[in-house]
Amino acid sequence: MSDYIILTDSTCDLPPEVAEKYELRVACLSVLLEDKVYKNYLDGRELSFVDLYNSMRDKKLPTTSAVNVSDFIEIMEPELKAGRDILYIGFSSAMSGTYNAGCVAAAELLETYTDRKILTVDTKCATAGEGLLVEMCAIEKSKGKSIEEVAEYAETMKKNMRHMFTVDNLFHLMRGGRTTRSTAILGSMLGIKPFLTINKEGLVDACGKARGRKKAYKMVVDDVEANIIDKDVPFYIAHGDNIEGANELAEMIKERVGCTDIRITYLGAVCGCHGGPDLVGAFYYGKE
């Protein structure tokens, strides 16, 4: 069986120690803030999570850009030269051009490296939902599964990555085209917290709303309780610089659902630009 690596992109929002443990390669998207471009590293080395969210609270509006083809080639080609195949597990193609850029890079490289393999998986996931799928695939690789077996596993399991989150400020969703200006204004006035998910097309989708943070968190926990498949699989809570809210949600899930491995992580810079400060969400292995 040929040696291979797993490549993903920085929207997976995995803790850096997890990426290091499984020797993942990570292609970084970028954030433009106040005329300066920052790479979206998992450890926030160029733009810290706190600095990003504080800038947004100060009404500074960052924008994001995808990984380009040349960036992917720069990561992929040394692996192919070294005789390793590549499994690229990427950010939802419905939300970014990153996955398609990875596919174009793969096609170009395979014209030269005809004896190598590059397999790609469009996760239709984002942030810690994508990250959880990547971690589960890395675990399968560590068991000795082939690149084809892990790619097939990813295609099967991506339908079970549930993303359930609530945002504090509807205006960031409005900027991203996820809701209208009138809805954002009215919702903010009434204290409405939307309950959001990533649908099977790989897009952010509203699936409910609650008045107030406590009720919104309860809706998240209700979803987990109804749909979780395996409580021993890692469970992620991601937040937009809202560790208090993340801890509160974690305690509610522990009490009602009994999950054993809850990991709290930041919503990274790219996804955070659209979710905004104080977002809190649960990302887990559940029913399709």
**What pLDDT was estimated at residue 106?**
98
**What does the alpha-carbon distance between residue 188 and residue 199 come to, in Å, rounded to a whole number?**
24
Confidence of residue 188 (pLDDT cuts 50, 70, 90): low
**What pLDDT was estimated at residue 108?**
98
**What pLDDT was estimated at residue 28?**
98
- Does CATH place domain 4-158 in 3.40.50.10170? yes
Q: Are 122 and 99 in contact (CB under 8 A)?
A: yes
Confidence of residue 228 (pLDDT cuts 50, 70, 90): very high
Find, among 199, 247, 197, 189, the residue nearest to 220 by Cα.
Answer: 197
| pLDDT 10s digits, 98-144 | 999 999 999 999 999 999 999 999 999 999 999 999 999 999 999 99
Average pLDDT over residues 72-99: 97
Domain positions in the chain are: 4-158, 160-285
pTM of the model: 0.94
**What does the alpha-carbon distance between residue 29 and residue 25 come to, in Å, rounded to a whole number?**
13
Confidence of residue 172 (pLDDT cuts 50, 70, 90): low
Find the largest Cα–Cα distance for the chain.
Answer: 60
Lowest mean pLDDT among 105-114, 164-173, 243-252: 164-173
Residue 72, amino acid? F
Find, among 106, 34, 39, 25, the residue nearest to 67 by Cα.
Answer: 39
Length of the chain: 288
Lowest mean pLDDT among 23-37, 99-113, 187-201, 204-218: 187-201
Q: Which CATH class is domain 160-285?
A: alpha beta
- State yes or no: pLDDT of 182 exceeds 50: no
**What pLDDT was estimated at residue 244?**
97
- State yes or no: pLDDT of 184 exceeds 80: no
Residue 109, amino acid? L
What average pLDDT does the chain have? 91
Q: Are 40 and 23 in contact (CB under 8 A)?
A: no
User: Measured between alpha carbons, how far is residue 192 from residues 20, 103, 214 in Å?
Assistant: 39, 40, 11
Exposure string of 109-124, with b = 16+ CB inside 10 Å and e = fewer, is bbeebeebbbbbbbbb
Residue 26 — φ and ψ, nearest 5°? -130, 120
